[in-house]
Amino acid sequence: MKIGEKIRRLRRQNSLTQEELADRCELTKGFISQVERDLTSPSIATLVDILEGLGTNLRDFFNEIEDEKIVFSKDDAFETENEELKYTLKWIVPNAQKNIMEPILIELEPEGRTKEDSPHEGEEFGYVLKGSIFLHLGSEKYRVKKGESFYYKANYNHYISNAGKSKATVIWVSSPPSF
């Protein structure tokens, strides 16, 4: 972590000049400038004063939580294709397996189907964007058409298959991640 860069970012977020921050902390503008450029390191006591002037504290300042990415483009997606089962799977949120939910986009060719998933903890949700599919839950089979959704606890073996003669597209969300 570059302390100076983070102090500069916080100062700017608070719409403060270096001089205004220096006045709040009873320091000089030159010292604040040197800290922000990582030319000098403040003592712990001085850092506490600077952080108080910025409306934060040591614990929050050194918390290494990265800025969370909110919006993802098609360039962020990772795609895999299963020619044997005739489907394409796109992870539309990168590294979603570390999150609570894992959304994917599945395109099933006619007569295509996903791999069968064993029972597991959690729940699954899907929304059919195009075409129609069969949802297979244990020995049960449900038809789900464009504009319809499905939701179930993953207590049974489960998979989806294309129910029509054209490509089917489904948004599928698993919680916890299982794809």
DSSP string spanning 43-71? -HHHHHHHHHHTT--HHHHH--PPPPP--
pTM for this predicted structure: 0.63
Boundaries of every domain in the chain: 3-62, 74-175
pLDDT in tens, 148-168: 999 999 999 999 999 899 999
**63 pLDDT band (50/70/90 cuts)?**
confident
Pick from 18, 79, 87, 77: which is nearest to 53 by CA? Answer: 18
76-83 LR contacts (CB < 8 Å, sep 24+):
77/105, 82/115
CATH architecture for residues 3-62 = Orthogonal Bundle (1.10)
Q: Which CATH class is domain 74-175?
A: mainly beta
pLDDT in tens, 21-57: 999 999 999 999 999 999 999 999 999 999 999 999 9
